[in-house]
Chains A and B, each alone.
Chain A
Amino acid sequence: MINATGLELTARAIGEAVGEGSVRDTIFFRDQATLDVRPEDVHRILSHLRDDADERFDVLASLHGCDYFPHEPRLAVHYQLLSTERGERLGVRTRLTVEQAETTGVPTVCDLFPTADFQEKEVFDFFGVRFEGHEDLRRLHMPEDYEGHAQRRDFPMGGEPVLYTFNEHKVPRWYE
């Protein structure tokens, strides 16, 4: 995607290959291209971009999650594709509500890009997005039985209140 028109052409090509309405939106911001897609079509779209497109992308550079609270749909999974032949990047993102993420979720891309294994576990750990078809979807960083999804925006930061001289004698210490 060198420019915005190239992005539109790619979006149209994907729409023809995968299905109408699979690409919800195209964003071209500061010379970076992003496609906003439907969650259920993610696997087909990435497979098209890897194998069938005119301009192919062979490496999944990054898979990460994001929480757009308070804008709905809240949770998002971002895929950053990279083409080593042309030195170009393309971002694909899919946005889901919390209920969608926890029930149906997003199809896994581990079969296309094995690098997604750890990264999908991380997204599940921190955002609660389920990846269908992932063989071993469990928490990665937090302990196995941790409750809550830590990087959602409404999850509390944790820690403890900072003691200043004005509240030093009012705040109960952790041993009380």
Chain B
Amino acid sequence: MSSPGLGTPYRRREESVTLERMEAPLAGTQVESDAELFTINMGPHHPATHGVLRLLCTLEGEVVRDVTPLIGYVHTGIEKSCEDQQYWKVIPFVERMDYLAYYFNAYAFCAAVERLLDEQVPPRAQYLRVAHMELNRIASHLFWLGTSALDLGAITVLWWALRDRDMILDLFEMSGGQRLHPRYFQVGGVIEDIPPGWARKCLDFVAQMRTRIDQYEALLNENPILLERLRGVGVVSQDRLKQLGVTGPLLRASGDPWDLRKTIPYSSYEDFEFRIPVGTVGDHYDRYRVRIAEMRESLKIIEQAVEGIPEGPFITTNRKVALPPRHELATSMEALIHHFKLVTEGFRVPPGEIYEAIESPRGELGCFVLADGSSKPARVHMRDPSFINLQCLHDMAEGELIADLIAGIAMLDPILGGIDR
């Protein structure tokens, strides 16, 4: 069969992406004018990229001189779709953006809407949200660990990480009903209280996870291959990272202890005692160590949250915003009307705009919601950390070898769902 693509419109569209910037003298690099530059295309389908990321790499031999990410291959138009949905229906859409940190996406949106409504979230709901978010942070870091180690060659870690991740997903299934993307966070709290036995199972998991993290560290921390590949590679200075807007473990690995959970606390994070792991050099090895240490700190937070969870309602009692409990529908007329209005039309949010930011496993996840007084948002925009962090790939990989570029993508932890939205 003939290979398609030579005369097709897609090929012509591809050629519209010009390489002028590559062929012209590259700013900021010391490239001799007679250097042989060779541009290759990695992706969008490639075993090493975490999702459909397309990279145009300009190489001089094996050394990377320029890297341009081309994105948009999983652009789903979520932000536009959200404008057509009621506020509580937006939550499943928004969960699917950064698809490893689904609770964070949902929380950012819910927090923005709660702020617009000036709604108070009951403390039990706040603690439950914190516990679920930290579990999701561990799950996200485990998946990162598994796939990064797979990229670097340590395949065993993938099996281990997915095994532990299955335990966390069991907990999510117990509380929210689904492993990925449960609509557990709602505007005003959480949709349902945790079932009996969840707290016990969660604490068992925490105890088990501590030994498991010790096992990961024992395998990887002083592994000579990992040290060779990650030490001293991909150093970007703290100021440059701040200029690029990079936040999260990447910024913390370079020495800046900027963590929104500590600096601008939200959802009762100020009640918990935990530390912020910070790196010294800012190379890939520091980024790896920072994430492992973050997993340990998250375990501490989960333990404190689950053991200290206060009694009370799990969602706001304001019936104009949250559904009334089902047993009331049989007895109270107002509850019936509230239920009907909320399900058919949804609650209305007074006009205003809010930008609410939280600390997701990849950095600052911000949600901008513009409300126009109706029951559907007029604009939902997520400031996705992977999208901003992707801009530092160029700095990380320039002057390094191709294999370091692969390690760089792995340590960057990009999630294409968040990048493309």
Which A residues are within 8 Å of any B CB, using their own CB?
29-30, 32, 34, 58-62, 64-68, 78, 80, 84, 87, 89, 91, 113-115, 117-119, 122, 136, 139-145, 150-151, 153, 155, 157-158
User: Are A118's CB and B16's CB within 8 A?
Assistant: no
Q: How far is the CA of A78 from the CA of B134 in the complex (A)?
A: 30
Evaluate contact between A118 and B21: CB separation under 8 angstroms: no
Residues of A within 8 A of B258 (CB): 84
Find the A residue at minimum CB distance from B381.
A64
- Chain A residues contacting B79 (CB-CB under 8 Å) are 151
* B263 within 8 Å of A (CB atoms): yes
Determine if A114 and B391 form an interchain contact, defined as CB atoms under 8 angstroms apart.
yes
Q: In whole angstroms, how far apart are the Cα atoms of A149 and B356 in the complex?
A: 26
B164 within 8 A of A: no
Interface residue from B80, B118, B379, B388 paired with A66 (Cβ < 8 Å) = B379
- A60 contacts B245, C-beta separation under 8 Å: yes
With an 8 A cutoff between CB atoms, is B297 at the interface?
A: no
Q: Decide if B80 touches A141 in the complex (CB within 8 Å).
A: no
Interface residue tally on B, bucketed by range: 35 or more
Q: List 9 A-B contacts (CB under 8 A).
A: A62-B368, A64-B381, A66-B379, A80-B355, A114-B245, A141-B72, A143-B13, A144-B13, A151-B79
Distance of A156 from chain B, by nearest CB (Å): 10
Q: Are B256 and A78 in contact (CB under 8 A)?
A: no
| Bound CA–CA A36/B242 (angstroms) | 25
Contact of A80 with B366 in the complex, beta carbons under 8 Å: yes
Contacts of B16 in A (CB 8 A): 144-145
Q: Which chain B residues numbered 357 to 376 have a C-beta less than 8 Å away from chain A? A: 357, 364, 366, 368, 370
Known contacts A114-B243, A144-B17, A151-B80; is-contact A87 B366 (Cβ 8 Å): no
Bound together, the chains give a CA A55 to CA B383 distance in angstroms of 24
Q: In the complex, A122→B364 CA distance in Å?
A: 18
Interface residues of B in 249-301 (CB under 8 A from A): 256, 258, 263-264
User: Chain A residues near B246 (CB, 8 Å)?
Assistant: 115
Q: Which of A58, A78, A84, A118 contacts B388 (CB 8 A)?
A: A118
Indicate if B77 sits at the interface (CB-CB under 8 A). yes
Distance in Å: Cβ of A2 to nearest Cβ of chain B: 12
Contact pick for B71, options A29, A65, A140, A144, CB 8 Å = A140
Residues of chain B within 8 A (CB-CB) of A114 are: 243-245, 391
Q: A145-B13, A151-B79 known; A157 and B244 CB under 8 Å?
A: no
Is B318 part of the binding interface, using a Cβ–Cβ cutoff of 8 Å? Answer: no
Contact partner of A62 (CB less than 8 A), chosen from B71, B355, B378, is B355
Cα–Cα, bound, A62→B84 (Å): 24
Decide if B391 touches A66 in the complex (CB within 8 Å).
no
Indicate if the CB atoms of A142 and B75 lie closer than 8 Å.
Answer: yes
Q: Does B116 have its Cβ within 8 Å of any Cβ on chain A? A: yes
Q: Given A61-B357, A61-B366, is A141 in contact with B264 using a C-beta cutoff of 8 Å?
A: no
Given A29-B353, A80-B366, A143-B13, also A61-B383 (CB < 8 A): yes
Q: In the complex, A142 Cα to B77 Cα: how many Å?
A: 10
